[in-house]
Chains A and B, each alone.
Chain A
Amino acid sequence: MRKTKRWVWWAGASALIAITVVGSAIGATGAKTQVLTMSIGAEPPSLDPGLATDTTSSNILLNIMEPLVKLGPAPELKALPAAASSWSVKGKVVNLKLNPAVRWTNGQPVTSADYVYSWLRTISPELGADYAYQFYGIAGAEAYNGCDPKKSNCNALKNKVGIKANGKYGLTITLTSPQPWFIQQLSHHSFLPVNKAAVAKYGNKFTEPQNIVTDGPFKLSAWKHDASMTLTKNTKWRNASSVKLDRINLQIITDASTALNAFKAGNISIDTTGFNPSDIPALKKTPEWKVYKALGTYYYGFNVKNISDVNQRRAMSFAIDRKAIVKYITQAGQVPARGFTPPGIAGGPIILKNAFNPPTHQTAKAKQYMSQVKNPKKDIHLYINNSPGHINIATAVQAFWKELGLNVQIKVQEWKQYLEFLGPPPNSDVDVYRLGWIYDYPDAQNGLVLWTCGSGNNNTNWCNKKYDALIAKANNTPNANARYLLYQQAENLLSGPNGDMPLMPIYWYTYTALVSQKVKGFSINPMDQWDYSTISVS
C-alpha cells in the first residue's frame, strides 16, 4: 500500500516537472513570435478569386493577396493605391499603372499579363464563375461570358473584351459606360489575379496550401478543411517590415455558443462567428464587445399585387416597433432603418433626407392609414427563410400587425427553395417576404438598382418608370453630389412620405465581434473586411 502511494507521488511530481519545462519552453518562444488566433464562422468555399462568392473567402483572399486598390476610412471609402500605384479615368477608359514591387511568392513579378489572364479566365464561359457579372461593366465581358463554346467559337468574343495589357505594368480597361464607382469596385476580390503557372499545374487544386501562389502580406500555410487554417507572414512582401503578426490561426467555428466558450476560455482572441441574442446582454457590458457599422439593410418586401393599397403598406410599416426588434431580438446594435439606403454610405444623409419610416411603432398613425384603405388584405402570408433570427423577427412582426387587425401566417421555407419561390416575379401566395442586402461596392447605386423594373432582386412586382429613369441618369453622372441628389429622389419614391413603399426597411446591419484587449488594430470596415497587416498582439 505504502509503496504504491510513493510510486504515485513520484509519477505525479515528474509529470508536473515535465509540464513546467515544456510549458516554459513554449512560453519562451511565444514571446518572440506574434500569433493571433481567431474564429471565423464558416469554411471558405473557395480561395480561387474567380470562384469565391462569400465574405469569409473574400476576407482571407484580401489578406493573402494584394488588391489593386484598397478602401480608405469610412464613410467615403476612397480608393487608395495598393497593387496599382496610380490610375487615370477618361470617360469610359481606365488606365492603371501596376506597382512593380508586387511579387508572387515564387519570386516572379506580378504583371499586367497576369491580370489579363486572370480576368479573362473568370469571364470565360468554361470556368462557370458565379461572380463573372462583376466584370459586366467592362465592354465585351457579358457577351464573352454568355458564349456557348459548344455552339460557337468564343475566341473572337474573347479578343473583344476591353481588358488589354499596356506594357509589362500598364493595364487599359474599356467600360460600357462611365461608372464612377469602378475604381472602388477594383477592391473586390473578384479582381485579384491568379498565378497562371499554379493553375496550369494543379488545376482546381491550386488553392491548397502546398500549391497556392499568392502576392499579399500573408501566406496560406495550412488548411484543414472544416477545422482550421493557418496564415503566416510573407517575409518577402514589399511592406513586410510593417506587418507585425507572424502567424494567424483561423479556427472554423460555426456555432455561436461554441465560439463564445472558446473566447471566454482564452483559446481565441477574436470571435467573429456571430452571437446568440441570449448571450449578448452580458457581453455588451464587457470592453471586448465591438460593434461596427455595415453597409446593408434588412427589409420586408411587399408583393404590391396582393397588398395593392399604398396606405396599407404604410400602415404595416408604421405598426412595427423597429427599436424593440433591435433592442430585444437582434440585440447587436443594429440601427432602426428609416429608409433603404444605409446612412454610412457616401452621401447617405443627403439620400435619406426624406425617408420617413418611424423607429418606434406609431399605432395610432398606422390605424389612421389603415382606415383609408378601401379593400384591405386581412390575411397576410409572411414568407421567411429558415433561420432562428428571421423566425424571431417574424414572430414579433406578426404580433405587431395583429394590432392592425391583420391575421398573419408565417411561412418558413428553406433558403434555396425560398429564393426560387420569390422569383421575380414572386409566387402569388407571397404577400410579404424578408430579405437583406449587403453592398458589393460602396455606392448607393448598388442597392437602389435593386428596385428597377427589370432587376432580378425586385421581388415586389413594383415597377416605376420614373424610378428607373432616375437610376439610369445617375449611372451617367460622375459628379458625386449631383448623383446623391438623384439618389435622394429615388429613395423618396421608396420610403418618402409620398413614396410607393414597395418595401419596408427594418434595420441597418452591423458587424459584431469580441476582440480581446490584447489585440490592437483590429476593425471591420463597412464592407465586412479586415486587414491583418495592421493588427498586433501584446
Chain B
Amino acid sequence: MSEPDVATPKSATERRGHGVDRPLLRRRQEFEDALSRTASARGAEAGASLPRASLWGDAFHRFMKNKASVVAAVAFLALLAFVIIVPFVSNEDPYALDFSQAYQSPSWEHPFGTDQFGRDLLVRTALGGRVSFGIGFAATFMIMLVGIVYGATAGFFGGQVDNALMRFLDALYGLPYLPFAILVLAVFGTVNFWTMVVALTVASWFTAARVVRGQIITLKQNDYVRAAYAVGARGPRVLYRHLLINTLGLIIVFVFLELPGVILGEAFLSFLGLGINPPKASWGTLAQDGYTAYATHPYIIVIPSVCIAWLILSAFFIADGLRDALDPRTKEA
C-alpha cells in the first residue's frame, strides 16, 4: 500500500527491460516476465501454506513433462560432462608444441583438428569450456550476490534508502554494457579469470538488484510476512526466513538466464582481444584464434562458437521449463 511502485511499476522500462545489450536484453525481458509470474505464484503458494516438499516435487514433475526442457537439460549436462571428462581421458598434451602437426583438419586422431602449434583442439576445447563455465558460474554467483545484497537492502529498507539506491542504478543503466566491461578490464590492465569475473559482474549486476528489490517489496506486502511482523519477528530474521528463502525458486531460474549471457559476454571480450592469458584458453579466445585462420581452417572458429550456442540454447530452454514448473498457473502445452 505504501509502495505504489509495486502494483504499477514506476515505468514500463522497469518491466520491458532496457534491452541495451544482447545478453541483458534477453535476460531481462524473459526474466521479468518469468518473474512476475513466479513471484505471484510463490506468494499464492505460501499464502495457501502448502508443504514445501510437495512444491518441489510438483515442480520436478511439471519440468519432466516439458519435453524441450528435458532435452535441454540432457544437452546441458552432456556439455558439462564433455568439459569435465575429456581432459582426464585424453592423452594429448594441451600445451606441448609440435609444429609438424600444425593445422590438422578434424580426423579420427584429432576429432576437432589441431591449431597452429599442433595442439589437439578436442582437449583444448574441453579445457576452454572449463574456463568459460568457470567464469560463467563465478560471475553469475557474484552477480546474484551483489544483486541480492543491493536489491534486498533497497527493498527491505524502502523509503529514501531505496530511492537513492535506485536512482544510482538508473545511472548505471545508462552505461552501455560492453563498453563498460571494456573500461573495467582496462582498469585492471591484465585479464585473468578473476578480473574477467569482476568486469562481467560490474557491468551486469543491475538487473539482479532490481529484480530482487521488486520481489522483496512484493513479498513484504504478503499477509504471511505481515503476520510474522505482527507476532514480533525482527527485521533481519524476516528478511532471511521469509523473504530471501522465498526467492529461491526465482534464483534458480535466474542462474540459467544469467549464465549464457555472462559466457557470451566473456566470448565477446575475448574476441576483441581481451581474453585470459595464454596458454590457457576459453571458448572466446579459441574463437578469436580461429578467426585469424577462418579462410584456411574454418573449423577452428566454428567449434567453440557452436559450444557457446549449445550452452545458450540449452540454458535458455532449461530456464523456460523451470519457470513454467515453478509456476503452477501456466497452462500445460
Can you list 18 residue pairs at the A/B interface with Cβ under 8 Å? A257-B295, A277-B292, A278-B293, A278-B296, A279-B293, A279-B296, A328-B99, A328-B116, A386-B273, A388-B288, A388-B292, A392-B116, A398-B279, A411-B190, A412-B191, A412-B277, A413-B189, A417-B190
Q: Which of A376-422 contact B (CB under 8 A)?
A: 386-388, 391-392, 394-396, 398-399, 410-414, 417, 421
> By CB atoms of chain A within 10 A, which of B95, B116, B274 has the most?
B116
Query: Does B236 sit within 8 A of A, measured CB to CB?
Result: no
Residues from chain B with a CB closer than 8 A to the CB of A324 are: 99
- Alpha-carbon gap, A279 to B297, bound state (A): 10
* Cα–Cα, bound, A98→B194 (Å): 61
Within 8 A of B (CB), among A267-322: 276-279, 282
Q: Give CA–CA (A317, B273) in the complex, Å.
A: 29
Q: Contacts A324-B99, A394-B278, A395-B279; is A257 near B190 (CB within 8 Å)? A: no
B169 → A minimal CB distance (Å): 29
Kindly report which residue of chain B lies nearest to residue A331, judged by CB atoms: B116
Nearest 3 pairs of A and B residues by beta carbon: A278-B293, A417-B189, A328-B99
A250, B315: Cα distance in complex, Å = 47
Q: Is the CB of A396 within 8 A of B295?
A: no
Q: Report chain B residues within 8 Å CB of A260.
A: 295
Name the residue on B nearest A399 (C-beta).
B97
A435 within 8 A of B: no
In the assembly, what is the distance between CA of A151 and CA of B333, in Å? 80
Interface digits, B92-106 against A, CB 8 Å rule (1 contact, 0 not)?
Answer: 000111010011000
**Chain B residues with Cβ under 8 A from A277's Cβ?**
116, 292
In the complex, the answer to whether A412 meets B295 with C-beta atoms within 8 Å is no
Whether B289 contacts A388 by the Cβ 8 Å rule is yes
A257 touches B292 (CB 8 A): yes
**Number of contact residues on A: which range applies?**
20 to 34
Does B186 interact with chain A (Cβ within 8 Å)?
Answer: yes
Minimum CB–CB distance from B183 to chain A (whole Å) comes to 12
Closest chain A CB from B266 CB (angstroms) = 16
Instruction: Give the chain A neighbours of B293 by CB distance below 8 A.
Output: 276, 278-279
A414 to B190, CA, bound (A): 7
> Are B295 and A279 touching (Cβ within 8 A)?
yes
List which B49-95 residues lie within 8 A (CB) of chain A: 95
Q: Which residues of B contact A417 (CB under 8 A)?
A: 186, 189-190
Contact A411 B294 (CB under 8 A): no
Instruction: Tell me if B117 is interfacial: C-beta within 8 Å of chain A.
Output: yes
A329 interfacial by beta-carbon distance below 8 Å: yes
Given contacts A256-B292, A279-B295, A412-B191, 19 further A-B contacts (CB under 8 A): A257-B294, A276-B292, A278-B295, A282-B296, A386-B273, A388-B288, A388-B292, A396-B117, A399-B96, A399-B97, A410-B277, A411-B277, A412-B277, A412-B278, A413-B189, A413-B190, A414-B186, A414-B189, A417-B190
In the complex, are the beta carbons of B297 and A278 less than 8 A apart?
A: yes
Complex-state Cα separation, A279 to B293, whole angstroms:
7
Which residues of chain A come closer than 8 Å to B97, judged between CB atoms?
395-396, 399
Interface bits B254-296 vs A (CB < 8 Å: 1, else 0): 0000000000000000000110011100000000110011111
B116 touches which one: A256, A257, A261, A278 (CB < 8 A)?
A278
Point out the residues of chain A lying under 8 angstroms from B288, CB to CB.
388
Q: In the bound complex, how far is the Cα of B273 from the Cα of A341, in angstroms?
A: 32
Chain A residues positioned under 8 Å from B189 (CB to CB): 413-414, 417, 421
* A277, B115: Cα distance in complex, Å: 12
A327–B293 CA distance with the chains assembled, in angstroms:
17
* Binding site secondary structure of chain B: loop
Give Cα distance in the complex from A492 to B42, angstroms. Answer: 79
Q: Which residues of A contact B294 (CB under 8 A)?
A: 257
Other-chain contact of B117, A256, A282, A388, A395 (Cβ < 8 Å): A395
Cβ proximity bits A251-267 to B, threshold 8 Å, 1 near / 0 not: 00000110011000000
B residues near A329, Cβ cutoff 8 Å:
116
Q: A residues within 8 A CB of B96?
A: 399
Complex Cα distance A145/B6, Å?
A: 64
Encoded as 1 (CB less than 8 Å from any A CB) or 0, chain B from 110 to 145 comes to 000000110000000000000000000000000000
Chain A residue at minimum C-beta to C-beta distance from B277: A412
Residues of chain A from 318 to 353 with CB closer than 8 A to chain B in the complex: 324, 327-329
Q: Which residues of chain B are near A388, meaning CB under 8 Å?
A: 273, 288-289, 292
Q: Kindly list chain B residues whose C-beta atoms are within 8 Å of the C-beta of A261.
A: 295
Chain A, residue nearest B97 (CB)? A399
Residue of B nearest to A387 (CB): B273
User: A166 vs B249: C-alpha distance in the bound complex, in angstroms?
Assistant: 87
Flag A155-176 by CB within 8 Å of B: 1 or 0 each. Answer: 0000000000000000000000
Query: In the complex, what's the smallest C-beta–C-beta distance from B28 to chain A, in angstroms?
Result: 31
A328 contacts which chain B residues (CB < 8 A)?
A: 99, 102, 116
A79-109: which have CB < 8 Å to B? none
In the assembled complex, which residues on chain B have CB atoms less than 8 Å from the CB atom of A391? 278
Q: Complex formed: what's the CA distance from A256 to B292 in Å?
A: 8
Report the bound CA distance from A492 to B302 in whole Å.
50
**Closest partner residue, chain B, to A278 (CB atom):** B293
User: Which chain B residue has the least Cβ–Cβ distance from A390?
Assistant: B278
For B292, the chain A residues whose CB sits under 8 A away are 256-257, 276-278, 388
CB distance from B296 to the nearest CB of A (A): 5
Residues of B within 8 A of A410 (CB): 277-279
CA–CA, A31 and B99, complex, Å: 48
What chain A residues lie within 8 Å of B95 (beta carbons)? 399
Residues of A within 8 A of B191 (CB): 412
Complexed CA–CA distance, A228 and B189 (Å) = 32
> Chain B 291-316 against A: per-residue CB contact (8 Å), 1 yes, 0 no?
01111110000000000000000000
Query: Whole-angstrom distance between the alpha carbons of A394 and B277 in the complex?
Result: 11
Quick one: which of B273, B274, B278, B295 contacts A395, CB cutoff 8 A? B278
**Measured CA separation A170–B12 after assembly (Å):** 75
Of A256, A395, A412, most buried by chain B (CB within 10 Å of CB) is A412
Distance in angstroms between the alpha carbons of A276 and B295 in the assembled complex: 10
- Across-interface contacts of B190 in A (CB, < 8 A): 411-414, 417
Q: How far is the CB of A128 from chain B (nearest CB, A)?
A: 24
List, in ascending order, chain A residues with CB within 8 A of B99's CB.
324, 327-328
Q: How far is the CA of A411 from the CA of B294 in the complex (A)?
A: 26
Chain B positions within 8 Å of A387 at CB level: 273
CA distance A412 to B95 in the complex (A): 17
With both beta carbons as reference points, the residue of chain A lying nearest to B119 in the complex is identified as: A395
B294: nearest chain-A partner, CB-CB: A257
Query: With A and B bound together, what is the CA distance between A418 and B166 in angstroms?
Result: 38
B153 to chain A, nearest CB (A): 35
Q: Which residues of B contact A395 (CB under 8 A)?
A: 97, 117, 278-279
Closest B-chain residue to A276, C-beta based? B292
Bound Cα distance from A303 to B97, whole angstroms: 27
Closest to A412 in B: B277
Contact string, B238-249, partner A, CB cutoff 8 A, digits 1/0?
A: 000000000000
Q: How far is the CA of A417 from the CA of B188 in the complex (A)?
A: 9
Instruction: Check if A278 sits within 8 Å of B278, measured CB to CB.
Output: no
Contacts of B186 in A (CB 8 A): 414, 417
Instruction: Note all chain A residues with C-beta closer than 8 A to B117.
Output: 392, 395-396
Q: How far is the CA of A439 from the CA of B129 in the complex (A)?
A: 43
Q: How far is the CA of A396 from the CA of B97 in the complex (A)?
A: 7
Taking the closest CB of chain B, its distance from the CB of A309, in whole angstroms, is 27
* CB of B189 to closest CB in A, whole Å: 4
